[in-house]
Amino acid sequence: MTRTGKAKSEKATVISGASIERSPRSIMGSRVETDRNLLDHIRSSQGYRGNVRLLEEESDLASLGLERYKRAVEMCAPKAIATIDAARLGVSLDKGKCILCGRCQEVAPDLFKIENGFVPPTREKRDLVESLGGRTASEGVKKSYEETGKELKEKISKMFGRSLAVREVDAGSCNGCEIEITALNNPIYDIERFGIHFVASPRHADVLLVTGVGSRNMEVALRRTYEATPNPKVVVAVGACACSGGIFGETYATNAGVDNVVPVDVYVPGCPPRPEAILQGLLSAVDRIK
């Protein structure tokens, strides 16, 4: 094993070190210059739609006017916004369903606010539901990718001897979540330097990353993949579809979330969740293995 921890940490410094001289390097006969500090940019940009917040300070719904609120409920394609208490006009927002289209903010800007963080992964599905008057509206995560990665790396080296094996299963996704999971493997995110690698067989895996609605035609394959994974195993549902069915919801061809097919330990919402959010989900997954 030549890839020691030391070599990896050196690699990480090279990528993130903004102080390194930015001149074109000549590698293998070609001069390709790339951003050394792309990593600094991977915090979400201003306009990124990553989280919806219920604005608590404006919770006086009566003054808000029923009309706009009702339109927001009607408009919401995945039916993430719901009335919990008709008499008090209580609103709840299921972030596991939310596809972050931003329509609610357009209709009722005094009630919903789109922010550029991302929704933290949860262990329980019900924790993704936020309600006005209930628990405090949660802030989107703003932790940097590197911080999460370092924390994860420490845990992985303690528990798994430096390596966590992940198997990805698409159970009816649009390929959006796959693109983001693939991005974790690109040289910018380079998830392998935290000791996480994607394996070709569920028999080698500690963690299953499951995306998609849990489509009817994938039920058998998903169950068999789950059964083929050795214990202890953790299942992470990635994306709104995997958490709740997303915009597809429950149809003749879908299951409204993969937890209707296999047990799920961690829910990562988002449509699709950005790579940082998926990494955060893996951190929660490691915490689940005891």
Chain residues in the site for other proteins (CB under 8 A): 27-35, 38, 41-42, 44-45, 47-49, 75, 77, 99-103, 168-183, 185-189, 198, 200-202, 212-213, 215-219, 221, 225, 246-254, 271-272, 274
**Minimum separation from the CB atom of position 237 to other proteins (A):** 16
- CA 171-74-129 angle, 5° bins: 55
Task: Copy the structure tokens of residue 72.
Answer: 């927001």
15-43 burial by CB neighbour count: b if 16+ within 10 A, else e? bbeeeeeeeeeeeeeeeeeeebeebeebe
Q: Which is nearer to other proteins, 33 or 57 (CB)?
A: 33
Q: Which is nearer to other proteins, 124 or 201 (CB)?
A: 201
Q: Which is nearer to other proteins, 41 or 70 (CB)?
A: 41
Query: Could you tell me which of 182, 166, 190, 192 has the C-alpha nearest to residue 5?
Result: 192
**Minimum separation from the CB atom of position 230 to other proteins (A):** 16
**Minimum separation from the CB atom of position 170 to other proteins (A):** 5
- Amino acid at the residue 133: G
Q: Secondary structure of the chain: what % helix, strand, coil (to 5)?
A: 40, 20, 45
**Minimum separation from the CB atom of position 102 to other proteins (A):** 7
**Minimum separation from the CB atom of position 267 to other proteins (A):** 19
Quote the CA–CA distance of 15 and 268 in Å, as a whole number: 27
Q: Which is nearer to other proteins, 114 or 264 (CB)?
A: 114
The sign of the torsion formed by the CA atoms of 192, 195, 201, 206 equals negative
Q: Which is nearer to other proteins, 71 or 143 (CB)?
A: 71
